[in-house]
């Protein structure tokens, strides 16, 4: 197939050819820095025999649409993470692709918007019988009031962010003063609504999902493990530092490993909750679900990521490799899952 990888780029004047040249530079095995994800994806597709085009979107999506018309591609691999450096607009490129009739990989604008709003997604999951923490949302400027049904401690996050943005040790609050202070901080610092949710003490698990319909596969579960001698229970959360700061992770004994052991009951509950959540949120082709497993083997779905990080050496790609899929095979399987979905006339279903 001819596959165009479409992504948001900081380079406003880069052409398709410019991105191809940069891809060759970044994928050079002698280069020490990690290549950008879109170039890794394109390289993997080329390794599988696909013809590739690299279409970057800076601030004018019309350029990308024109490039796709000119190239006459068979499939678009949506690697965009936002628009004009705004993560909350990650639905925009898929919406334009849909409007233009281009088949593309990944979730629809509906799935992306549902999962970005942590409060809305929790309501949908609860409706479908998936266990989620109790929560309360606070719009910008809304005063914090005590909710008797929401017990302390709580964790407070930006309502619409991902990649653990806005989450730190200070996110755990134990009284009204701390809750008020943190909500106001979220409003002022991130210009976003805040969500305060019940803190679930338990194991932090990540479940990557691949495919659609009855062919949905759950990849091996990844666990974020904390050194119990260096961290308190309430500090064992996926902060930005815990996920992305390697020196911090090393100092605090934080590792990402494949989860084990899991009881038979936990595995059954994990599979049921993740499959239900994947379909309930209209996710497609691939996604990642963040869950907590408590001491009673109850599964709590914290949030869903419809557009997870796909780079080599990170959670989703590692889980695929553990599942028996080399990186190129994994990326190719996403494309083939999307192609099958379009052939079957199920563009909006996961």
Q: Which helix (H) or strand (E) is 77 found in, with range?
A: strand 75-78
Question: What is the C-alpha separation between 114 and 205, in angstroms, rounded?
Answer: 21
Q: In this structure, what are the phi and psi dihedrals at residue 198, rounded to the nearest 5 degrees?
A: -55, 130
Taking alpha carbons only, the member of 248, 251, 243 closest to residue 315 is 243
pLDDT in tens, the chain (350 residues): 999 999 999 998 899 999 999 999 999 999 999 999 999 999 999 999 999 999 999 988 998 899 999 988 999 999 999 998 888 899 999 999 999 999 999 999 999 999 999 999 999 999 999 999 999 999 999 999 988 889 999 999 999 988 788 899 899 999 999 999 999 999 999 999 999 999 999 999 999 999 999 899 999 999 999 888 888 777 788 888 888 888 988 888 889 999 989 999 999 999 999 999 999 999 999 999 999 999 999 999 999 999 999 999 999 999 999 999 999 999 999 999 999 999 988 665 55
Predicted local confidence at residue 345, as pLDDT = 82
Question: What is the C-alpha separation between 253 and 228, in angstroms, rounded?
Answer: 9
Spatial neighbors of 282 by CB under 8 A, at least 6 apart, are 107, 108, 110, 111, 114, 348, 349, 350
Question: What is the C-alpha separation between 349 and 345, in angstroms, rounded?
Answer: 9
Q: Is the dihedral of CA 153, 293, 115, 170 positive or negative?
A: positive
Predicted local confidence at residue 233, as pLDDT = 75
Q: Report CA-CA distances (Å) from 326 to 67, 125, 218.
A: 30, 32, 16
Q: Can you read off the two tokens belonging to residue 187?
A: 């409003």
Predicted local confidence at residue 243, as pLDDT = 82
Q: In this structure, what are the phi and psi dihedrals at residue 119, rounded to the nearest 5 degrees?
A: -70, -45
Task: Spell out the domains of the chain, with CATH numbers in brackets.
Answer: 2-104 (no CATH), 134-198 (3.30.1490.20), 201-221+259-343 (3.30.470.20)
pTM, to two decimals:
0.93
Q: In this structure, what are the phi and psi dihedrals at residue 302, rounded to the nearest 5 degrees?
A: -85, -45
Predicted local confidence at residue 73, as pLDDT = 94
Predicted local confidence at residue 163, as pLDDT = 73
Question: What is the C-alpha separation between 134 and 119, in angstroms, rounded?
Answer: 10
């Amino acid at each position: 197939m001819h596959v165009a990888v479409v992504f948001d780029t900081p380079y406003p004047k880069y052409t398709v050819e410019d991105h191809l040249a940069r891809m060759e530079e970044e994928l050079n095995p002698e280069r020490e820095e990690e290549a950008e994800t879109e170039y890794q994806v394109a390289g993997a597709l080329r390794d599988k025999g696909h013809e590739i085009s690299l279409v970057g979107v800076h601030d004018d999506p019309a350029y990308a649409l024109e490039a796709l018309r000119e190239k006459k591609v068979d499939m678009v691999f949506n690697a965009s993470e936002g628009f004009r450096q705004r993560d909350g607009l990650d639905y925009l490129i898929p919406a334009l692709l849909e409007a233009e009739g281009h088949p593309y990989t990944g979730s629809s604008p509906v799935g992306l918007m549902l999962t970005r709003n942590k409060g809305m997604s929790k309501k949908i999951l609860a409706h479908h019988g998936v266990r989620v923490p109790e929560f309360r949302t606070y719009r910008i400027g809304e005063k914090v009031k005590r909710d008797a049904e929401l017990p302390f401690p709580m964790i407070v996050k930006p309502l619409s962010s991902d990649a653990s943005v806005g989450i730190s040790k200070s996110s755990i609050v134990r009284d009204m003063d701390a809750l008020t202070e943190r909500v106001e901080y979220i409003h002022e610092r991130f210009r976003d609504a805040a969500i305060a949710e019940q803190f679930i003490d338990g194991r932090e698990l990540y479940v990557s999902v691949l495919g659609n319909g009855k062919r949905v596969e759950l990849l091996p579960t990844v666990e974020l493990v904390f050194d119990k001698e260096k961290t308190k229970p309430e500090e064992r959360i996926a902060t930005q530092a815990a996920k992305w700061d390697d020196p911090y992770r090393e100092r605090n004994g934080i590792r990402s490993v494949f989860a084990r052991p899991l009881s038979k009951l936990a595995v059954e509950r994990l599979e049921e909750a993740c499959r239900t959540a994947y379909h309930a949120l209209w996710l497609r082709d691939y996604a990642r679900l963040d869950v907590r497993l408590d001491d009673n083997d109850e599964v709590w779905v914290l949030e869903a990521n419809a557009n997870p990080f796909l780079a080599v050496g990170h959670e989703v790609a590692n889980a695929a490799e553990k599942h028996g899929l080399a990186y190129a095979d994994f990326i190719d399987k996403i494309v083939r899952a999307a192609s099958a979905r379009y052939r079957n006339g199920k563009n909006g279903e996961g």
